Structure 1
Amino acid sequence: MNKKLVGSAVVGAAVLAVVAAQFLSGSDPAPAAAPPPTPAPASAPAPAIVRGSLEIYPLSDATGPGSAIEIPVPSSWAVSRDKERASYRQGDLLLETDRVPITQEDALGGLRSVAGGQGGTVVGHAPIADRDAAEWDYTYARDGVPRRVTVVGLGAGDALVTVRFEAPVAEFERNRGVLDEALKIRS
């Protein structure tokens, strides 16, 4: 008899015996062991944390262990999350915080990189919490309504932490206090 055919028959019989034993024993099979957790790379910063009304981005730069950027956020607004981005909404108003993993010399260069060719203006901003900062202002139309956006980026070592405020043009200045409060960042 062919050795390959005999080997296949033996393996098939063993599989059949295991399956039959599971059905005939009347008990559920033992659950599979959970795979071991995948260790995070040593250079990856911890994910953002929300504590009270703060969005906290732990830092992995040279400022030392335990350092973070703490952004005040509206506690009563609806919040959604996608990885490092937190979006706070109330009606047509939107406040977002995010950590963008890019290499940059400074916040201005980093924000210009993020803005790409999308338009608007990117300019330097006064330092915030002793960190270099830059500001990107632009408008766009959504559903025929012009919207104004201001994004402020802070240099955070191997990343750029951003605060983005968006509102219909007619409501932007009246609600700018939301952005001003969010920019009372601690580091």
Structure 2
Amino acid sequence: MSKKLVGAAVVGAAILAVVVALFRSGEAPAAAPPPSTAAPSPSAQPSMAEYAFPDVADGRGWAIRIPVPSGWAVTRDKDRASYRSGNLLLETDKVPITQEDALSGLKAIAAKTHYDGSVVTPVEAGDIPDAAEWDYTYLRDGTPERVVVVGLGAGDSLVTIRFEAPPAEFDRNRGVLDAAMKVSAPG
């Protein structure tokens, strides 16, 4: 049996034991509060997501630094970092790219999808000269979500900034993405 399967079984048994204990005691677990849809305070000091490229420039290396919201729930998986506040999601990631530039890279990714309103265009993003933006809408569990992915060319990698929100909340919270696009890299 794999370690993941054994681990999942142990966690499942522990959760079941807690639920049974709660019902036997007659207490119901407290309901989780609804997610907040409030945008971050514009005066809040952002944190930075950093993607290092140590093997360039004769070993001197450099990094792309992306301003991300402080105070949002953060999860990490390898190079991907997800920042969530209610229905709003900002993700940063670094992926290998076989195309020559960010625009071609995002167009290749977009061509494999069939999202409504899918458009890829060049864009300015802080200190990064090679950047593109992909704008589209998709259905998550039957509900539309609007997404903008900004791709930053970084040699053989594409660093991405992805902002997702329900269409009704997207424009009024666009400042989250605009702040993240103020990326910095060495000049």
Question: Is the CA contact (8 Å cut-off) linking 1:88 and 1:96 kept in structure 2?
Answer: yes
Aligned to 2:95: 100
SS of residue paired to 2:135: strand
Residues 180, 61 of structure 1: CA spacing in aligned structure 2 closer, same or farther, 3 A cutoff?
Answer: farther
Deviation at 1:131, TM superposition (A): 2.5
Which amino acid is 2:86 matched to?
G
Is the CA contact 2:125–2:182 (under 8 Å) kept in the aligned structure 1?
no
**TM, length-normalised to structure 1:** 0.68
Specify the SS of the correspondent of 1:131.
Answer: coil
Match of 1:175 among 138, 163, 173: 173
Instruction: Using the TM superposition, give the Cα deviation of residue 170 of structure 1 relative to its aligned residue in structure 2, in angstroms.
Output: 0.3
Distance 2:125 2:173 in 1: 23
Q: Are 2:58 and 1:58 equivalent residues in the alignment? A: no
Partners of 1:62 and 1:94 in 2: CA distance: 31
Q: Equivalents in 1 of 2:96, 2:146: separation in Å?
A: 25
The DSSP-based 3-state class of the residue aligned with 1:126 is coil
CA distance in structure 1 between the partners assigned to 2:55 and 2:134 by the alignment: 24
CA distance in 2 between counterparts of 1:131 and 1:62 reads 17
* Counterpart for residue 133 of structure 1: 131
Amino acid corresponding to residue 114 of structure 1 in structure 2 = I
State the percentage of identical aligned residues.
62
SS at match of 1:128: coil
Equivalent position of 1:80 in the other structure: 75
Gaps (5+ residues) in structure 2? 1-45
Please provide the CA RMSD for this pair. 1.7
**What SS class does the counterpart of residue 123 from structure 2 fall into?**
strand
Distance 2:126 2:162 in 1: 15
Does the C-alpha gap of structure 1 residues 181 and 167 become closer, same or farther in structure 2, counting only changes over 3 Å?
same
Aligned residues: 136
Among 81, 84, 92, the alignment partner of 1:89 is 84
Question: Are residues 63 and 162 of structure 1, via their aligned partners in 2, closer, same or farther at CA, if it must alter by over 3 Å?
Answer: farther
Q: CA deviation at 1:134?
A: 0.5
Q: Summarize deviations over 1:103-160 as a string: whole Å, max 9, x none.
A: 2211101111222331311111135313210010000122232110000001000100
CA distance in 2: counterparts of 1:150 and 1:75, whole angstroms: 20
Kept after mapping to 2: 8 A contact 1:153/1:162:
yes
1:60 and 1:157 in contact (8 A); partners too: no
Report the Cα distance in structure 2 between the residues aligned to 1:130 and 1:165, rounded to whole angstroms: 18
Summarize the alignment of residues 1-187 of structure 1 with structure 2, pairs less than 5 Å apart: 53-60=47-54, 62-63=56-57, 65-118=60-113, 119=115, 120-126=118-124, 128-187=126-185
Distance of 1:164 and 1:61 partners within structure 2: 26
CA contact (8 A) 2:125 2:181 kept: no
> How far apart, in 2, do the equivalents of 1:130 and 1:172 lie?
24
